[in-house]
A and B are shown apart, each in its own frame.
Chain A
Amino acid sequence: MQSEERWKSIKILTKYFLKTHLNRIDIWLLASACLFVFSLFALNTIRTIHKDIFIISDGIYAMPTFLVSCLLSIFISFLSIMKVSKDFDSRIYETYLYGPVDDLCYLTSVVITYTLINFGITFLLPTVWLFLLFFLTGIPVTSIAIIELFVGMSVVETMFLLGLVFVAKSEKERNSVWVVLILQIFYIGIIFAHTVVSKYLIPIKRTDIDVFKFFRDVFSFLYASSRYLSPFTSMFLIQSTGQSTPIMVFSFLGILLAVDSVLFIIARKLLSRKLA
């Protein structure tokens, strides 16, 4: 197929997919929920300084960025898997393939559609929102906050592409939703469980009995191991250890980009094999 024709098909399909999504309330509801998370943290800062007069922080928006990335990662993976499985179930896929559309066009359209949705909700809208919050509350928008939003968007992209690999691989497409959701919840759960047992459920006084020691050891082992497997853990570590330096962030983004490319190639190969 000519590349010009292919691009034209991709454009038409992407436009169609995007239109379908933007006509549904779920995306907009999700966008509002994400902005609300940022607002909650901004308001919490204001309430805290009412009580404690001042607070010292190295990133008020680090935690909401992480939360939003987790939420969107789950949601966009869910959405994309459901979309592909629906296309397969309803055999609409055959209609798409009729004419100048092949499996690469279809996959690229799906990827571009969800990448654009991801870019809009994880990066663009929160960036605009943070500037609006600056005018309302006075909390400045730092370069670190923007970089962290970008990292969040890249993590969501990788997890969504991983979901596409699963859906392309599985025979019953809809079942892959569970696999991807469980995997993501497991990865995110490790971070939250580790944070809770190692930060909040620790003995306050030296004489307190440490009843959570076993859980702390288990979750810290899982947490330490998952830093090489889970982009969520890597992102959380970069944020929480204050390593959002350009070198660190660009290295992480480079790794994610390489992983994304590999995942795309795998998804494409699996999809072609499926359709052969």
Chain B
Amino acid sequence: MKKLLITIISSILLVTSLFGEEAEYDFVYALNYYNGVSYNSTIIPPHTKQMYLLADSMNALVFRETSLYYWSLTSEFKADWAVKNSVVSGLLAVKDSNGNIQRFAGQPYVIQYDMRDMANTISIYWGPDAFSQYDKFTKMQQAYNNAVYEYNLALQDYNTKVNELLQLSMQSSLSEEQLATFPEVPEPPANFSLVSTEINLGYPMQFSEGKYEMWFEDMNQKEIRDSRKRLVTFSATSESGGFKVFEENRWTVPVDFPDSKKTLFTHKASTLYFQPYRYKQFEKYAYESLVNPQQTNVKDQMHIWIPIDQDFGIEKLSLSNQEIAKSGYKVIQTTGSKLGYTISPLPDGDLDTSFEGIKLDFQALGDTKRFAVGRESSVVILNDYPGLGLIVSLSSLFPLLLFLIIKEKKKHIRHKR
């Protein structure tokens, strides 16, 4: 009897232990961060103790419970949102370097921008603004859909009328009255370029440059495990104009040329295209940590230039008494199976540009060897002629030659004596 009782109790314990145990999930910060150009999203897993944000820019953070797994191919932790994805309710606490603690409550937010000029139109809206902006967006989208529908109907009507006239013309020649009723081609609606995210819940994060400490508190103001992080907010170290430069044969691989004591070296036979851009310089480690909080790169003092957006204010480039205007260009692929393309100026009336830029044909620019293309940067045309390498290499032996000459002269003087 006693044995039976023990067996029953242990079976009950075993069953409760199997079914009663709750799987333990991980807490992560899911971040929608501003990188100076656009918003991107990333996660900050528990082992990443320090996170970076751009100072004075609005970011959206949310504390989530999920299941993390290690993805060895990229050596980083990823979230399995399908297993668990729940927003943790509570308050986000942020302590500044003076010890002042601010607490933030979650709010709905939406991010919107115009695809034609993302850098200048991107915005994040919070609270009631988020709802009104999203409502405005859906109404505009609906209006666009309606316009497209109307356009399709008009196009259908146009095709029907044209077909009718065609059939009539095949039977007998059309009278002037009939020709006057020839329908006009319907105008398609302008492309819808506004982009919006769905309304999400987030904690607004906008801080001035500095170091902070942050953690997440539940409804009872108790700190949730794995939520404490160091937060570093950083600003651009400098700002400048500049260009994206590419060579005629590599138009898809532009090189950044910010106006910062840099020199572009090329040769006379080259043709380069310059696209004006605005650049910002950031501390490299901080910027890379913003983009990928799990990065394992070593902190150094290097800086990085990030192209922010096209500088539409620059319309021409003044080079040694010549002014070269920015214009549109069209890239035309070579027909047939052979790879290749040609870049030609945009024909009059054609608005479909492949790119806009300033074309510099150095052959046509005369004999000038150095051009200033900004406040601090310049373009230098290098000499190149047969035997240059040999002349330069041999000339560096000049001190040795001088020594031999002096030695020989001394020997000669000694012999004379």
Contacts and interface: CB of A to CB of B under 8 A. Distances in A.
Given A53-B266, A198-B298, A137 B403 contact: no
Given A35-B398, A53-B247, A206-B74, A136 B265 contact: no
User: Which of B264, B369, B392, B402 has the largest count of A CB atoms less than 10 A from its CB?
Assistant: B392
A49 B303 contact: no
A12 to B, nearest CB: 21
Interface stretch (B15-23, B122-130, B375-383): B375-383
A242 B302 CA distance: 8
Q: For chain B, give the interface size range.
A: 35 or more
Contacts of B300: 198, 220
B210 to A, nearest CB: 22
Given A241-B301, A241-B302, A49 B382 contact: yes
Contacts of B301: 237, 241, 243
Given A49-B265, A56-B255, A58-B260, A136 B393 contact: no
A100 interface: no
B395 interface: yes
Contact of B261 (A38, A144, A217, A224): A144
A119 to B, nearest CB: 15
A217 B382 contact: no
Nearest to B73: A207
Q: Is chain A's interface secondary structure helix, strand, loop, or mixed overall?
A: helix
Interface in A194-224: 198, 206-207, 210, 213, 216-217, 220, 224
B384 interface: yes
Given A54-B247, A56-B245, A240-B302, A137 B382 contact: yes
B396 A28 contact: no
A67 to B, nearest CB: 14
Contacts of B409: none
User: Which of A56, A137, A207, A213 has the largest count of B CB atoms less than 10 A from its CB?
Assistant: A56
A132 to B, nearest CB: 7
A138 B395 CA distance: 16
A129 B263 contact: no
B380 to A, nearest CB: 6
Interface in B134-171: none
A57 B263 contact: yes
Contact of B396 (A46, A129, A216): A129
Given A58-B260, A138-B383, A242-B260, 12 more contacts: A25-B403, A29-B400, A43-B388, A43-B392, A49-B267, A50-B267, A54-B265, A54-B266, A55-B264, A138-B369, A139-B380, A207-B74
23 contacts: A28-B400, A28-B403, A31-B399, A32-B400, A35-B395, A38-B396, A43-B392, A49-B265, A50-B384, A54-B270, A56-B256, A56-B262, A56-B264, A58-B261, A136-B383, A136-B391, A137-B383, A140-B370, A210-B75, A217-B298, A220-B298, A237-B301, A241-B302
Q: What 8 A-B pairs come out closest when comparing CB atoms? A: A28-B403, A35-B396, A31-B399, A220-B298, A54-B266, A36-B396, A53-B247, A138-B383
Interface of A: 25, 28-29, 31-32, 35-36, 38-39, 42-43, 45-46, 49-50, 52-58, 60, 125, 129, 132-133, 136-140, 142, 144, 198, 206-207, 210, 213, 216-217, 220, 224, 237, 240-243
